[in-house]
Structure 1
Amino acid sequence: MEKLYCRIRENSWVARLAALKMGSSAIAIVFGRVIHLHGVSRETFLANTRWVRHEVRHVRQYRQHGFFPFLWRYVNDWVRFGYYNSPFEKDARQAEHNATELDGVEIA
């Protein structure tokens, strides 16, 4: 299996803005290969396997579609279907239950 490299950025201002928008105290948001965290520590995030799988799936989606094409489609789908019904979010929620989702993943 091909390696997938991800990074974590704690106390991210980008994730803080997303948390304000979503009305959440703890959030993770992905841009490219970087998982941005706000309101949650790296250790707490990594201890939540379902959450890690969800965010890693977004990293895979970026890789599959390309950075800007993914962002464009993600935003359009969010406007069109809403956050919860967005195809990318549905896919990431399914990945939460996939035991092999983290195979070949290295998180720095």
Structure 2
Amino acid sequence: MKTLQIKENSWIAKLAAKKLKSDQMAITIGQTIYLYNVSKNYFLSQSKWVKHEQQHIQQFKKYGFFKFLIMYLYESWKKGYYNNKWEIEAREAENK
């Protein structure tokens, strides 16, 4: 099993932060969490945020990398980021 990777100062997370108008960002692709404007240590100290991103990792594992990526992007295009069912599921995981 591939281990979790966290990458700080990510350009992809910076793009996502700009798109979502956020000062800080974590974005999960596969089993890697990309961070922007937040340290790995700070991110790991935020249990809800970590649980949110871990849920995305589980979604990638469940559906497969490309299938989930396509489903996620389609859902975001169709309903927007906040109403995307994968984001709703990840927000629900924050409190488990």
Higher strand share: 1
| Structure 2 stretches lacking a partner, 5+ long | none
In structure 1, distance between residues paired with 2:95 and 2:49: 10
Q: Report the identity percentage.
A: 43
Q: How many residues align?
A: 96
Please report how far the alpha carbon of residue 97 of structure 1 lies from its aligned counterpart in structure 2 after TM superposition: 0.6
Show the counterpart of 1:63: 61
In structure 1, distance between residues paired with 2:76 and 2:7: 24
| Structure 1 stretches lacking a partner, 5+ long | 99-108
**What's the RMSD between the two structures over aligned residues?**
1.2
In structure 2, distance between residues paired with 1:5 and 1:64: 16
Opposite residue 40 of structure 1, the aligned amino acid is V
Of 29, 36, 58, which residue of structure 1 is paired with 2:27?
A: 29
Opposite residue 18 of structure 1, the aligned amino acid is A
- Runs of 4+ with deviation above 6 angstroms: none
Look up the SS of the partner of 1:84 in the other structure.
coil
Show the counterpart of 2:36: 38
Matched, 1:88 2:86: yes
Show the counterpart of 2:50: 52
Opposite residue 78 of structure 1, the aligned amino acid is S
The one of the two structures with greater contact order (alpha-carbon pairs below 8 A, sep at least 6) is: 1
Deviations 1:49-85 (A, max 9, x none): 0000000000010000111111100011011111111
Of 74, 77, 94, which residue of structure 2 is paired with 1:76?
A: 74
State TM-score, norm by structure 1. 0.85
Look up the SS of the partner of 2:38 in the other structure.
coil
Show the counterpart of 1:14: 12
Please report how far the alpha carbon of residue 4 of structure 1 lies from its aligned counterpart in structure 2 after TM superposition: 7.5
